[in-house]
Amino acid sequence: MKFISWNIDSINAAVEHKSIRGEMTWQTLNEIATIRPDVFAIQETKLKATGLTKKQAATISELFPEYYLYLNSSTARSGYSGTLVLSKAEPKSVSYPAIGAPGDMDAEGRIITLEFPEFFLSTVYTPNSGSSLARLDERGEWDDKYRSYIQTLDTNKPVIFSGDMNVAHQEIDLKNPKTNRHSAGFTDQEREKFSALLEAGFTDTFRALNPNTPSVYTWWAQISKTSKINNSGWRIDYYLVSDRIAKHVQNSCVIDTGARQDHAPILLDINI
């Protein structure tokens, strides 16, 4: 089965594609449609609390005909955060869990979980700690609650989960580790929480297949005009699986988006 996960940074920007960057996002979305993944998980939809507009819904339906669509939009702040999942097969059940996260995080549309006969498929948009680390403590609480939630799923059946997890786990996972030790996404706390998630029984599929491969990233800062040109990026988007099914992973990779900065989609190929 093929799964794709992508922080799209605004569905509307892709659908309208009126800017150069919007056009690149639109092209990437079309490329994903040609792959026809079994499940396509999207983070940071930035939709209104009311969900997709008629135009957005029609466009997605045209690109992904006969897919089941599940949407979790932020009700705490319209046009912020949000997740969406498209699936070829109809799942047994779908949930939009509240995990007891601090503040408004549970109302920001951050998780969707699909249950299939043999596994759970979940996607997450992990809260960012903020440029001044203002939400670092809340982020740590989120990490603990999220880990507990995934562990609970795992006691029932294996879990395949993906998303923008807003952390580069090891120094190999970003271009400039020394100068980012106190930056959101590379603090000791965030990295330790990600280690705890792996130690709870889960595998980082890309790193398991490529233990020593450097310079593979999933995000390049838009604020820097040369971040993509110089490949000055971070690997903060992941496909993780329960350890007991990790041996079935055939491929875990980043989809090339050319000159487009921000997040790139990631692909998981697994026999399950």
Given 125, 217, 238, 239, the catalytic residue: 125
Residue 249 backbone class (left: φ over 0; alpha: ψ -120 to 50; beta: rest): beta
**How far, in whole angstroms, is CA 34 from its chain's centroid?**
20
Catalytic-residue membership of 70: no
Q: What is the 3-state secondary structure (H, E, C) of 46-67?
A: CCECCECCHHHHHHHHHHCCCC
Given 106, 154, 164, 237, the catalytic residue: 164
Q: Where are the beta strands (DSSP E) in 47-158?
A: 68-72, 83-87, 93-95, 111-115, 120-125
Residue 164 among known ligand-binding residues: yes
Residue 166 among known ligand-binding residues: yes
Catalytic-residue membership of 80: no
Closest CA relative to residue 38, chosen from 157, 146, 162, 124: 162
Residue 243 among known ligand-binding residues: no
Closest CA relative to residue 228, chosen from 217, 238, 237, 236: 217
Count of beta carbons in the 10 Å neighbourhood of residue 40: 27
Catalytic-residue membership of 182: no
Residue 66 among known ligand-binding residues: no
Residue 263 among known ligand-binding residues: yes
Count of beta carbons in the 10 Å neighbourhood of residue 183: 17
Residue 271 among known ligand-binding residues: no
Count of beta carbons in the 10 Å neighbourhood of residue 98: 13
Count of all residues that appear for the chain in the document: 272
For 14, 72, 100, 195, 228, the CA distances from 49, given in Å and listed in that order, are: 18, 9, 20, 34, 33
Catalytic residues: 125, 164, 263
Residues forming the annotated binding site for Mg(2+)? 7, 44, 164, 166, 262-263
Residues forming the annotated binding site? 7, 44, 164, 166, 262-263
